Amino acid sequence: MSKIEEIKAKIREGNIETAMAMAMAEAMKLEIITTVNDSDTLSHSQCYRSNLDLLNNEIDHQIDDQKNSEQLENLHFQEVGKAHEKILQNVQSLQKMFTLLQDNLSELN
């Protein structure tokens, strides 16, 4: 069962607090992938991948061994720098959603 299915199941069971904790843990993770495709072969000629997990304070960068352009590298790491803002926005949205859900739970049953 996927994480989203587990969260939905907890909501259906009325276990909002557990669903919210699970959703928040997942919301603290973000994967950023930046690629440039070779227009002739449609294969990835350059790729940067970063996985951020703020809950566990982990950041993992994977960079292709190929020669990467400085412009692509700068673009990718600008997006990584914005990741904290995106995660914060996601968490705030989840908090609002779960507050509404909890406030209206009695009406749903």
**What integer pLDDT is reported at residue 87 of this predicted model?**
87
Which residues of the chain fall short of a pLDDT of 50?
none
pLDDT confidence of residue 90? 87
The answer to whether the Cα torsion of 85, 86, 90, 91 is positive or negative is: negative
How many Cβ atoms sit within 10 Å of the Cβ of residue 13?
A: 10
Q: What is the pLDDT of residue 18?
A: 92
Nearest to 65 by CA among 52, 47, 77, 83: 47
Per the listing, tokens 């914005």 go with: 82
Instruction: Supply the pTM of this predicted model.
Output: 0.66
Q: Range of 28's domain?
A: 3-86+94-108
The count of domains in the chain is: 1
Residue with the two structure tokens 């993992």: 60
